[in-house]
Structure 1
């Protein structure tokens, strides 16, 4: 290996958003990972060599390997161009290994976006602070719950700051201007005029909540995809005051209750109930109402149960008895003709960067 070769890895966790009452507000990172192994060689040829992408793991048969089509590299290119760097360095190789299922409510797209922001930051040594990395991610994802948890890790609450008119306009440009669809013959010079929209500063803010080590997450993952767009289409445009107060009361309790030791099943189970999104998404996921009816009384060790993000994955928080909880949920789904897999997960760390050579 040449002394001019640089290598590093980026690891981004899966995430689960909403956690019952926290619709578009809270998220937590989970111990499944998208890992980028990046190699940058100086090369001796003056001819530009475009990025080479390889991919293994979840979604390997459907992810584009063209740097102008792949979500992670498109995000990275957007960040670079916002810093007047028109293209990737020559002789860049990226191997992606993904453990996060696509379209299941486990933050696969959020992880890809954060991976792209971090790729740009490290491949060209931009040295952006966490808050600025989040700004770039929010220009693409627009909802802070998943990307914030993926970036900083833990159990996180987040919001979009109210911006002045100028900053609000910059943060609200169409996604097609932030991540344009590159044509088949796109090259390093395509899409530079007009330049990409640079995000305003401080779009999103966040806080980490406590989380007791006794709580584990059982991800019950149906073997079908459900797009976030489709899951949002079934939601109403307005809610009653009664339903909003119902969720706010529970969210206020939940953000403290999950940090208490020992965790209180009765308190947490009730605090993870929701009236804002889960009732409307039940029609999209056969067997969901029956699975959500599992209780700490019927299944000791269970603390609470909810949709993970937009679904179809169900997230059960528990302290023990993991296999029985998961297998009973699996049986209920099977009775509704839905096959599932399940994984026992820990609360994940935030994204990690490591220089390897």
Structure 2
């Protein structure tokens, strides 16, 4: 490989009660333009990305190196131009997209020919849970479960009948901080009640009953009640989105972004309404992207 372009979609995790299990790939992207070089170099071409101090501390490099080492391969140096419209620490899978891009970078540089299952296993090990990385890797709506033996089972569906309106505030919320407010344990009754809600939400989504899915996703008991206090305008955004036709609104990942489930063709209307009500937010209408990580070779011109 002399030069290639790697693209990875953003993702929204949980979708209400699918805590650490469910992810949706959405139409914002991280893009790497990769060219072999004498030494490692990262150039950031995005307002969402901080300056690069040490390329060896970069999450993309570290993910690529871990992948290469796992398969006893030597990772050649590259110049990587990074472009992104995924805001950092907002609940749209910025770290997952970086991890998946790093794994794919090593896969290409070292000619590893990794399977989706192998990539997912490495990504989950790095990220700690499979929800965002599975969506970024596979695309679509993905439900995952990491079994006691470490194996990861997953189910994937593409649904073009829905759109997603994200309301993104200006401040960041680190996932670790959002996890600190969660209880360490649930009683059997609490777990059963929370799981029963999740069961209906995802059966409803898979069967196309979006009204029921939207109603129940707002009833999550696993994390939303505990994180709601960290999300400004949480209840107001829910109310305003629903008043304009959204089926339901939940926290995207760990937040602080909220994501509204909307019927196809209605997303722009909901987004415009939310923009008018919350002018300090970035509000976007996104689609579910059917494809996860992609690699496009760049042919060098000859004279």
Name the TM-score, length of structure 2 as normaliser.
Answer: 0.90
Residue number in structure 1 paired with 2:72: 84
Q: Are 2:215 and 1:270 aligned?
A: yes
Select the structure of larger CA radius of gyration: 1
Distance in structure 2 (CA, Å) of the matches to 1:330 and 1:240: 40
Residue number in structure 1 paired with 2:282: 341
How many residue pairs match? The answer is 296
Question: What secondary structure does 2:176 align onto?
Answer: helix
Q: Are 2:298 and 1:312 aligned?
A: no
Equivalent residue in structure 2 for 1:35, among 4, 8, 31 = 31
Shift of 1:249: 2.2
Q: Are 2:18 and 1:73 aligned?
A: no
Question: What secondary structure does 2:144 align onto?
Answer: strand
Distance in structure 1 (CA, Å) of the matches to 2:51 and 2:133: 20
Q: Are 2:108 and 1:122 aligned?
A: yes
Distance in structure 1 (CA, Å) of the matches to 2:31 and 2:221: 36
Equivalent residue in structure 1 for 2:232, among 286, 290, 294 = 286
More helix by share: 2
Residue number in structure 2 paired with 1:186: none
1:52/1:212 CA distance change after superposition, 3 Å: closer
Distance in structure 2 (CA, Å) of the matches to 1:126 and 1:213: 33
Residue number in structure 2 paired with 1:109: 95
Residue number in structure 2 paired with 1:133: 119
Residue number in structure 1 paired with 2:14: 18
Structure 2 gaps, min length 5: none
Does the 8 A contact of 1:212 with 1:258 survive in 2? Answer: no
Shift of 1:212: 3.3
Shift of 1:290: 2.4
> After the TM superposition, which residues 1-357 of structure 1 pair with which residues of structure 2 at under 5 Å, given as runs?
6-40=2-36, 49-60=38-49, 62-64=50-52, 66-86=54-74, 88-90=75-77, 92-163=78-149, 203-209=151-157, 211-261=158-208, 263-265=209-211, 267-273=212-218, 274-294=220-240, 296=242, 298-300=243-245, 302-319=246-263, 320-330=265-275, 333=278, 339-348=280-289, 349-357=291-299
Shift of 1:207: 1.0
